[in-house]
Structures are given as C-alpha cells and as structure tokens.
C-alpha cells in the first residue's frame, strides 16, 4: 500500500497486522482526493483510521494537521509507525478509543475541515460517529466523506448534513456530505 499523491507520493505505508482492518485502496483514495477541493492547510479527522492511509494522504497533499481515531492496538501501532516513518508526527494527533465516543467528546485544536469515516462494513458505526460529531467542532463548510459497502449506504441526511455526492468503486461506495447551511440553494 502506497501514498498516491502529494509530497510523499509513492512512499509505502504499513497496514495493521491481522484481518480486522480493511485499508482504503489506492484507487479509492486517489478518486476521493480528485473529487475533493484542495486540502492545503485543512484540519482533517480520520475516524476508524486503521492504517491512517486517508489522513496521511491528506497530510501528503498539504493538510495542516490530521487527527486519527481508532480503538484497535494493531491499527494504532500502524498509524503511529507510519507517521514516524514519514516524519509527520508533529502534524498529527493519534487518539486511542472508541471512535463514536471520541467523535462526541474530542476537542480539536481547530475545527475540522475534512472528516473521513471508514468503519467496519455492514455496521451502523459511520452513522453513529457522524451524528456524534458536534457541529461546533466542524468548520463552517466541512466535507464529510464516508466509505461504506454498497449494500449499507448511510441515510441521505445525517442531522444537519446532506449527502451531496455518492460514487461507487466495485463493492465500495463513498458518500460526500456537507452542512445544509453551507449548501447554496439556486434562486
């Protein structure tokens, strides 16, 4: 598994040991970052971080800071090892614990501009984690990206968030959400 783009493009990432983590594929990461606006200077949250590949991809592409949530010890070891190997530790925070609880209570140094949520497939954890995020911890126009199984799409709306786009890559789907208050309504 490699970083797709940015200053660290081509560098190898370690994946957590075991079968409990499904890292986001290079193809899906590349597609997501081609859809997103420029991430330069953004504060990023990677929920259910696994290897940390998505948050690290954002850092490689110029994000100012990334926060990583995960509960699994192998995932946390992989994220920390990847950040250390790539010299990104000063631009990252790794928080161990239940991602849904952390989404509700962790206070970032500045509001998150970009939130990636990639929980175990066939669970309601994405919906629960996104609904747990207090709006005041998000920037005025954040992008929330949820990776999910095509058979388990999150709802069209999640609290004050509205799905604005959805893409399919084989069995993997990616849904993009924005705050309803940030979406321009045509006159």
Domain range summary for the chain, segments of one domain joined by +: 26-182
In this structure, which topology does domain 26-182 adopt according to CATH?
Rossmann fold (3.40.50)
Separation in Å, CA 175 to CA 3, 12, 25, 118: 21, 27, 16, 11
Token look-up 């069995």 returns 171
Distance CA 98, CA 109 (A): 20
pTM > 0.85 = yes
pLDDT (tens digit per residue) in 144-167: 999 998 888 899 999 999 999 999
pLDDT (tens digit per residue) in 31-41: 999 999 899 99
Q: Answer with the residue of higher pLDDT: 122 or 35.
A: 35
3-state SS record for 118-149? CCCCCCCHHHHHHHHCCHHHEEEEEEEEEEEE
The pair of structure tokens assigned to 21 is 């983590």
Token look-up 């070891």 returns 77
Neighbours of 178 (CB within 10 A): 17
């Amino acid at each position: 598994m490699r970083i797709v783009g940015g200053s660290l493009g081509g560098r190898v990432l370690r994946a957590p040991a075991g079968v409990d983590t499904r890292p986001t594929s290079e193809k899906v990461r590349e597609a997501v970052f081609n859809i997103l606006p420029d991430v330069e200077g953004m504060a990023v949250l990677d929920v259910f971080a696994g290897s940390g590949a998505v948050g690290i991809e954002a850092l490689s592409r110029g994000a100012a800071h990334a926060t990583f949530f995960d509960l699994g010890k192998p995932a946390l070891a992989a994220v920390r090892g990847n950040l250390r190997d790539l010299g990104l530790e000063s631009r990252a925070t790794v928080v161990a614990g239940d991602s849904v609880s952390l989404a509700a209570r962790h206070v970032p140094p500045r509001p998150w501009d970009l939130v990636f949520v990639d929980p175990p497939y066939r669970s309601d954890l994405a919906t629960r984690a996104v609904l747990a995020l207090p709006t005041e911890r998000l920037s005025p126009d954040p992008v929330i990206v949820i990776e999910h199984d095509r058979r388990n799409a999150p709802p069209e709306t999640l609290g004050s968030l509205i799905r604005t786009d959805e893409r399919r890559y084989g069995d993997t789907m990616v849904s993009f959400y924005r705050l309803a208050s940030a979406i321009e309504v045509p006159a």
